[in-house]
Structure 1
Amino acid sequence: MTQSVAVDTRDAIISAAFGCFRTRGLAKTTIVDIARVAGVSRSTVYEYFRDKETVVEACAEAASQRFYRNMAKAIDRHGGSTLEGRLVRAAVFVTQARQVVEPEVYFDAAEVSLMMTKNAATLLKECADFLAPYVTAARLTGEVRTDLDVPSATEWFARMLFSLFTTPSPTIDMRDDGAVADFVRSYVVRGFVEGPRRR
């Protein structure tokens, strides 16, 4: 089997799994369902994935990669040239993504919560790693202070993005891009410019 055929088959299985989760839900989908939709045998699915959980993990990874590609496009297209503008755009993108995901029936709320909790450290690191080049560039251009700890700053903002995605606001209309942008703009980057206050 050539590498491209293997990649194509794996991608077909992941795509089929997404389709099954959409129509049947995660809990009711079986390996047999996925194999049938992918047009492969059940044993072929097991050549690529140990069990249904590893299929779900591969789907989550594929969705994550697509999410960050789309967020990078949104930041580059609408974020302007400042770190503040880029981070504000990232926050707006995340709240828009929540509105797209909410009506989906792939997973129920408990399953999403479990996945976010179980993989929280990995998801947080992926998000911080995605943000690091933007913050590093701003440090080099002098937009933020030169002694800014990039891993700490990006983890802080990644945590903010997670909160915007997972937690409804009692004061902000999360469907209003302008309200989300104003909320984030008021606080983001300012802590990256001024050093921590000494007591």
Structure 2
Amino acid sequence: MTEAPTTQVVDRLLDAAQVLLARKGIRATTVIEVAEEAGVSRAWLYRHFPDKSALLGAAIVRLSDSYWSDARAELDTLGTFTEQLVAGVRIGRHTYDEPGALPLRLRMTEPEEFAACAGAGVTGLVPDLATFWLPYVEGAAARGEIHPHHDLAEVAEWVARVLISLGTIPGETIDADDPAAVLRHMRRFVLPGLRADPLRES
């Protein structure tokens, strides 16, 4: 089979896998169902993906890439790190509404099954988010919004953990769905810590 039809078959299989993942989740989705949904034989499926984990893992990676690309396109339009962080909380709060955020939902609802797809290139939520945020952390440091003595990779991971907390854990003093409240929180607590010299003795 030529390269173009092969690519088309892979795309059909991944499209079908995404449909079934959204409908049924990882555990309940079978290879046979994906092949039927895609309109290809199981033999064709196994020519491209050796097992269920590889197939669903590839579908999850493709969904993740799309989700992060859309988020990056939005954040790239914002001029300050504070604005980017506020937008990051909003994006995170609405992840369940976006098809591309299905991997985040699956990671929460079926953690063991999700981990079984790790061999296909899926990594943990905190490292994923930290990697995503690192360029924005580096940009903020270059603009003087983050003290130069900070370890920027460590900052990116801390930002990821803060955003996960704000996006998923309800609180009593901040409404994470209120951009003005999130902005106040960032200005009062997050940005002062990033502007401070981490090497300065207390």
- Please give the TM-score of this superposition, normalised by the length of structure 2: 0.79
Amino acid at match of 1:143: E
Partners in 2 of 1:116 and 1:174 — Cα distance? 29
Partners in 2 of 1:75 and 1:26 — Cα distance? 30
Matches for 1:93-112 after TM superposition, within 5 Å:
93-98=91-96, 110-112=109-111
Q: Secondary structure at the match of 1:188?
A: helix
Give the aligned partner of residue 115 of structure 1. 114
- Aligned-pair distance for 1:116? 7.0
Amino acid at match of 2:55: V
1:157 aligns with 2:155: no
CA contact (8 A) 1:13 1:34 kept: yes
- Aligned-pair distance for 1:71? 0.9
Does the C-alpha gap of structure 1 residues 168 and 139 become closer, same or farther in structure 2, counting only changes over 3 Å? closer
- Aligned-pair distance for 1:177? 4.2
Give the aligned partner of residue 171 of structure 2. 170
Give the aligned partner of residue 18 of structure 1. 18
- Aligned-pair distance for 1:118? 8.6
Does the C-alpha gap of structure 1 residues 5 and 177 become closer, same or farther in structure 2, counting only changes over 3 Å? farther
Matches for 1:130-149 after TM superposition, within 5 Å:
130-149=132-151
Unmatched segments (≥5 aa) in structure 1: none
1:198 aligns with 2:197: no
Partners in 2 of 1:84 and 1:178 — Cα distance? 12
Does the C-alpha gap of structure 1 residues 100 and 35 become closer, same or farther in structure 2, counting only changes over 3 Å? same
- Aligned-pair distance for 1:133? 1.3
Does the C-alpha gap of structure 1 residues 91 and 114 become closer, same or farther in structure 2, counting only changes over 3 Å? farther
Does the C-alpha gap of structure 1 residues 23 and 114 become closer, same or farther in structure 2, counting only changes over 3 Å? closer
Unmatched segments (≥5 aa) in structure 2: none
Amino acid at match of 2:71: M
Amino acid at match of 1:81: G
Percent of residue pairs identical: 27
CA contact (8 A) 1:74 1:93 kept: no
- Aligned-pair distance for 1:181? 4.2
- Please give the TM-score of this superposition, normalised by the length of structure 1: 0.80
